[in-house]
Amino acid sequence: MTPVESAERALRRAVPWIATSLALIAAVYVRALAFTPAEAAQGPAQKIFYVHVPSAWVAFLAFGIVGGVSLAYLLRKDPRLDLLAESAAEVGMVFTSVVLVTGPIWGKPIWGTWWTWDARLTLTLFLWFVVLAYLVLRGAVNEPERRARYAAVLGILGALLVPFIYASVYLFRTIHPMPVILRAGGPTLPGAMLATLLFSIAVFTLFFGVLLYYRYSLARLADARAHAAAERRDA
């Protein structure tokens, strides 16, 4: 099977998985909205948690993948690793954006303000900026080999940055205490809420994996096509 054919097959195989994931997300929605009790003190807005938290987890997972795969690329120089990093960054961007959109919508009714410089949201914001820089950098370099190298360097440095931003925010909040972030149900989540959260995390992780696979296969296909065309020209 040629690279082009194998990439095309990967794309076709992924489509039913995408459909399944979307259906599962719908199931999460139904379960969270209709079959999970609301938290008495915070009201129904607390349920945003079931979309916000899994998205945040995936965003950081994606970012970790970008960092790790970037390092692997610099070591092995395999162009497929570069395509994988690119895919993880793009898909991760989507999840990060959802975190940044749902965060304030959750914040306003619960804490009275659209934005608080709390650790998770601030970290996510800067994650968003780094992924944006990553994607913009990729868009601004024409030669594939240099683009891959530059992106890899930025990906690794970005991953290194994360603990420092977290530490900055943490230190800042220690010195300038802010309103305590209400946890969804107190120190431990009641059973039904925990189950919904775990279900949601599993579904969104699956959704991410499927999107990543599709996006990666798309990149492989475009790359294989370009190579095939170049070979034909040379022949």
Partner 1 sequence: MHDLLRVTWAVAAKDVLLEFRSRSAFVSALVFTALVLAIFNFARDPTAVSARDLAPGILWITFTFAGMLGLNRAFALERENRALDGLLLSPASRTAVYLGKVLANLAFVGAVEAVALPLFALFFNVPVLPVLGPLVLVIALATLGFVAVGTLMSSMAVNTRLAELMLPVLLLPFLVPPVTSAVQMTAQLFAGRPFSEALGWLRLLVGYDVIFVAACILFFESTIEE
Partner 2 sequence: MPQRSGGMPENGGYMVAAYVAAGAIYLIYTALLLRRGRAEK
- Residue 37 as a binder of partner 2 (CB under 8 A): the answer is yes
- Residue 202 as a binder of partner 1 (CB under 8 A): the answer is no
Q: Which two tokens stand for residue 205?
A: 């992780």
φ, ψ at 203 (rounded to 5°) = -65, -45
Shortest Å distance, C-beta 86 to partner 1: 16
Stretch that binds partner 2, among 78-86, 91-99, 145-153, 157-165 (CB under 8 A): 91-99
> Containing H/E element for 45?
none
Q: Which residues are CB-neighbours of 204 under 8 A, at least 6 positions away?
A: 25, 28, 54, 55, 57, 58, 95
- Residue 105 as a binder of partner 1 (CB under 8 A): the answer is no
Question: Which positions from 45 through 74 interact with partner 1, judged by CB under 8 A?
Answer: 74
- Residue 177 as a binder of partner 1 (CB under 8 A): the answer is no
Shortest Å distance, C-beta 225 to partner 1: 24
Nearest by Cα to 125 from 154, 160, 101: 101
Q: How many residues bind partner 2 (CB under 8 A)?
A: 44
Shortest Å distance, C-beta 136 to partner 2: 18
Give Cα separations from 101 to 33, 47, 104, 114, 202 (angstroms): 19, 15, 6, 10, 21
Our CB check for partner 2 shows the closer of 15 and 136 to be: 15
Q: Which two tokens stand for residue 92?
A: 């991760």
- Residue 185 as a binder of partner 2 (CB under 8 A): the answer is yes
* Of 33, 41, 171, 198, the one binding partner 1 by CB under 8 A: 171
Q: Which residues are CB-neighbours of 87 under 8 A, at least 6 positions away?
A: 212, 215, 216, 218, 219
Would you say 166 and 123 are in contact if contact means Cβ atoms under 8 Å apart? yes
Contact set with partner 2 (CB under 8 A): 8, 11, 15, 18, 22, 25, 29, 32-33, 37-45, 47-48, 51-52, 55, 94, 97-98, 101-102, 105-106, 108-109, 185, 190-192, 207, 211, 214-215, 218, 221-222, 225
